[in-house]
Amino acid sequence: MPTAPLILTLAMDDTAAARFDAERRAHFPPALNRIPAHVTLFHHLPGEEERGIAETLAALVRSEPPAEVAATGLRFTGRGVAYTLDAPAVASLRGRLARVFAPWLTPQDRQGFRPHVTIQNKVAPETARALHERLAAAFAPFRFTATGLLLWRYCGGPWEARGRFSFGVES
């Protein structure tokens, strides 16, 4: 499936990835939970451009230090719940990538970047509202480290890992 679209996400430190994955497993409908918890930077990059995209990412991340990300709250999405994130360095990097990838960006990827981690989706609104209220009542802001970028191929539901690009590391 070399023409299947590519998805670019943020790599998180192991502690944060485990925390978000555990919450996603606990609250996401099991039959629909086919991918790990993630922060999507781009939802749809052209699969046929994978080599060039990977080369661009490898070159760009060499000079990027790991970035601090703050989980600042929870958002009710109507049929789910997501952690809201504040990540200025990640937003800046995504902006630079958006300029490079501009000819390929879909309308969704041209919109403003609102970083988040979805831990529940596609449930009844009342189920999502109850989870949001419960989690929001106990929420305390926390920080984690973004360690790089992950490139995935969309496979009609599941994703196939295509590359890891660690910040500050020569590939």
Per residue in 96-133, pLDDT (tens digit) is 999 999 999 999 999 989 999 999 999 999 999 999 99
pLDDT higher than 70, residue 44: yes
Q: 99, 94, 116, 3: which is closest to 49 by C-alpha?
A: 3
Between CA 132 and CA 55 the distance in angstroms is 40
pLDDT higher than 90, residue 18: yes
Residue 29 domain flag: yes
User: What is the pLDDT at residue 156?
Assistant: 85
User: What is the pLDDT at residue 39?
Assistant: 98
3-state secondary structure 54-72: HHHHHHHHCCCCCEEEEEE
In Å, how far are 14, 35, 65, 120, 140 from 168, measured between CA atoms?
17, 26, 5, 32, 30
Mean per-residue pLDDT, 21-25: 97
169 or 111, greater pLDDT: 111
Percent of the chain scoring above 90 in pLDDT: 93
Residue 82: which CATH number?
3.90.1140.10
Residue 99 domain flag: yes
Q: Is residue 2 very low, low, confident or very high in pLDDT (cuts 50, 70, 90)?
A: low
The tally of domains found in the chain comes to 1
Would you say the C-alpha torsion 9, 37, 163, 170 has a positive or negative sign? Answer: positive
Residue 1 domain flag: no
CB 81 within 8 Å of CB 75: yes
Residue 87 domain flag: yes
Q: Which structural domain range is residue 20 located in? A: 6-166
Residue 57 domain flag: yes
Between CA 141 and CA 37 the distance in angstroms is 18
User: What is the pLDDT at residue 131?
Assistant: 98
Compute φ and ψ for 34, nearest 5 degrees. -105, 0
Mean per-residue pLDDT, 138-161: 96
Residue 171 domain flag: no
Mean per-residue pLDDT, 61-82: 97
User: What is the pLDDT at residue 170?
Assistant: 60
User: What is the pLDDT at residue 112?
Assistant: 87
